[in-house]
Structure 1
């Protein structure tokens, strides 16, 4: 009788914890580069494609610099600081379905992911950078979408931003309770698709892929058994896989170079963790921030910064070896930080803008903008650009002296995605309407 009661008790506990994956945990099979036999190489872009804004946050932590080879601006060009539905719109196009992934800009294409529920599809769209006409659409999954209760009410089935190395477009989706990484050619042809592991969804899947040499690196933290994986971008074969525990978290990894050492850093599980990008081997881990995080770390030459999360809150600066340099009790859950190298800028979920000194964390200023934010800011031309969930686009000076609002611009009714900057234009995904009437548009904003 005692044994029967024990069995019943365990069953009841597991039933009550089913949403946390009590009965769905899948052991993560770790893989080393030695076991996989995958060779990591430097890849040369065969078509010498202009990688203007090639991945989440542009590949340079949300910062556009004239001297940078990625997302650079010609000195004769300038992007708009004011816009509306009638002003400084080079083109606009309707985007089918719904997604929170930001656009990327590669060559003469603007590429983003989206998803529909009727029919149940996850797909990738490419638009002409010059006039916005649709160049191609590729369905990567039909059916297999998670249930509504497994996706947060604010989320979508296409949350991640694609990455491109010039020859491959890479995306990742939650489908049929697994994470699938799909690679397409520049013309939209599917080259390969790999199931990298099971995924127990609490609120859906959010991370974006990143690139390192001939690898694409994808994270999948979840309560059923989290992991981070490096795959051969040419074949889809798993080069390495590391287990990351049983916690649901939502941050994308970031490739950073700290004191000359390439590292992949990611937050979540009450810590920031650093891995060797070529092998997945642990470099360091430091307890900080919170259990669940959404933001992506950013870095200067010698320091890495991140913020979050739930249930705890902290913004932290660590050095190249993971040692804590400074921290404060400010929390950015969904938006990521951005830096110009001297100052750290942030806009919190509840609409407060901050400026801190990167060296010691001194708060130079803070200012309530109002509204609520999911989008992450970018820095370009001495200004910070960021959008709120009511469709307001804010431009303020990237300066430690004081907060100075340059402009506030209404476009659409909401904005979850972050802006992409390429040449003289801003590419922005916005929502119009609400409820069943909500639709999405992609805008190209320029001083025409």
Structure 2
């Protein structure tokens, strides 16, 4: 762990090991994979927001290029697949060419109203795009529409689509219903009504979908039939997408975690039994990730790292005022936006809770707040936020390496 030793200035290798033993530390290796994509909200079907073996900048990165979004903020995280970046600007959903930096296609270039939210999901050359009350399947290269499916209510808050690489289905929630569609034709295969309005991204694991409503209902739904297998209620409401924790994330078993509206994180095992609850006080927008046996939770101006086994707080760090900036994990590094782009060692450095050394890798200031952060092919993709009512200036998409 050479990077940590460098941070403990003046301490030799023997002393470093001794201090680590006294104060407690975690060791995770830097990622080596620089050939990966970010094809959907949450990075994968279980919403982990993690590329566990991915490579990304661990020291202060440089801006490789930037492009004007022609709006004040993005309303969905950048989706990066092959040579295309998809960004929801709130007014339009735009496909940028990574090579030329030009707008390859968009869905509504003349729109001046903030009417879109969420991000597309990409599978097998098709972008499934949430266009208010319509889910459109578009050719990734050209933007041409293959099919559309109209919902009774808008697809709100975040992308609510997930494409299953095994069964050729698309799952989408709009209003108080979840729909399963054939990915090739858009034909509806089943529909399941919910008690409340679905929000955030759907998570999929094995034969199940996990769906959350803003009012506090968490569902496990059989993905083949659309049957509700269990439902749990969080009285304070739910303020994050469900994320699935597998046996690789915990000592025993697997299940699903969500953030409660009262500043808690709650973990249920796969049968719906509540195993632990962590009290963190406040939440922003959709602020959970799971990586390297650690649940990362952005709670107001604080980033918390929780033990995935029991919810114990491993470490925490101040991340300034918040924006739409859930954390992500790439390799051994946690990235999160806010008033700055910050990067932390996923193990938190050395120390106890917030009293630590060597936890922060870098922070960098941009023009405006740092909004969403995603990663692909060894680079970071971030959007900035200048606010809708703050005068001149527009948001940007930044590519950092």
Q: Fold-level match, TM-score > 0.5?
A: yes
Whether 2:395 is the aligned partner of 1:444: answer: no
Name the residue aligned to 1:397: 345
For residue 53 of structure 1, what is the aligned residue in structure 2?
A: 38
CA deviation map 1:361-393 (0-9, x unaligned): 1222233332123211111121100001x3x11
Unaligned runs of 5+ residues in structure 1 are 1-49, 67-71, 117-122, 146-155
Summarize the Cα distance change of 1:299–1:265 in structure 2 as closer, same or farther, 3 Å threshold.
same
Unaligned regions of 5+ residues in structure 2, if any? Answer: 1-34, 248-253
How far does residue 313 in structure 1 lie from its aligned partner after superposition? 4.0
Cα deviations across residues 193-218 of structure 1 (Å, max 9, x unaligned)? 2112235x9xx643431112311111
Match of 2:130 in 1: 172
Query: Which secondary structure state, in structure 1, belongs to the residue aligned with residue 229 of structure 2?
Result: strand
Alpha-carbon contact 2:151-2:174 (below 8 Å) kept: no
1:328 aligns with 2:278: yes
Q: Look up the match of 2:28.
A: none
For 1:420 and 1:278, how far apart are their aligned partners in 2? Answer: 31
> How far 1:433 moved relative to its partner?
6.7
Aligned to 2:117, which of 156, 159, 163? Answer: 159
**What is the distance in 1 between the residues matched to 2:377 and 2:99?**
11
> Partner residue of 2:65?
91
In the alignment, which residue of structure 1 is the partner of 2:323?
373
Q: Distance in 2 between matches of 1:255 and 1:96?
A: 34
1:281-315 deviation digits (Å, cap 9, x = unpaired): 11222233633534443422312211122xx4421
Tell me how far apart the structure 2 counterparts of residues 304 and 314 of structure 1 sit (CA, whole Å). Answer: 14
Instruction: Report if aligned partners of 2:217, 2:238 keep a CA contact under 8 Å in 1.
Output: no
Task: Tell me if 1:125 matches 2:94.
Answer: yes
Matches within 5 A, 1:245-394: 245=195, 247-248=196-197, 250-256=199-205, 261-268=206-213, 269-288=215-234, 290-301=236-247, 302-309=254-261, 312-330=262-280, 331-348=282-299, 350-388=300-338, 390=339, 392-394=340-342
Q: Does the Cα contact within 8 Å between 1:263 and 1:276 map onto a contact in 2? A: yes
Partner of 1:113: 88
Q: Does 1:208 align with 2:156?
A: no
Q: Which has the higher contact order (CA 8 A, sep 6+)?
A: 2
Q: Indicate how the Cα distance of structure 1 residues 80 and 406 shifts in structure 2: closer, same or farther if over 3 A, else same.
A: closer
Q: TM-score with structure 2 length normalisation?
A: 0.78
1:121-153 deviation digits (Å, cap 9, x = unpaired): xx432122234232223339979x7xxxxxxxx
**Cα drift, residue 51 of structure 1:** 6.6
Question: For this pair of structures, how many residues does the alignment match?
Answer: 345
Instruction: From 46, 50, 60, give the equivalent of 1:82.
Output: 60
Cα separation, 2, equivalents of 1:307 and 1:421: 23
Please report how far the alpha carbon of residue 249 of structure 1 lies from its aligned counterpart in structure 2 after TM superposition: 5.4
Q: CA deviation at 1:325?
A: 0.8
On the 8 A contact 1:393/1:409 being kept in 2, the answer is: yes
CA contact (8 A) 1:271 1:287 kept: yes
TM-score in terms of structure 1 length? 0.71
Decide whether the 8 Å contact of 2:93 with 2:108 is kept in 1: yes
Partner of 1:24: none
Contact 1:263 1:277 (C-alpha < 8 Å) held by counterparts: yes
Residues 289 and 58 of structure 1: is their aligned pair in 2 closer, same or farther, counting only changes over 3 Å? farther
Judge conservation of contact 1:173–1:181 (CA < 8 Å) in 2. Answer: yes
Structure 2 match to 1:239: 189
**Alignment partners' CA distance in 1, 2:144 and 2:236:** 40
Question: What CA distance in whole angstroms lies between the structure 2 residues aligned with 1:427 and 1:415?
Answer: 11
Alpha-carbon distance between aligned partners in 2 of 1:315 and 1:89, rounded to the nearest angstrom: 35
| Alpha-carbon spacing, 1:184–1:278, altered in 2? closer, same or farther (3 Å) | same
Which deviations, in whole Å up to 9, do the C-alpha atoms of 1:148-201 show, x marking residues without a partner?
Answer: xxxxxxxx4222011000221011132xxxx211110022111112112235x9
Mapped to 2, the partners of 1:240 and 1:129 lie a distance apart of 37
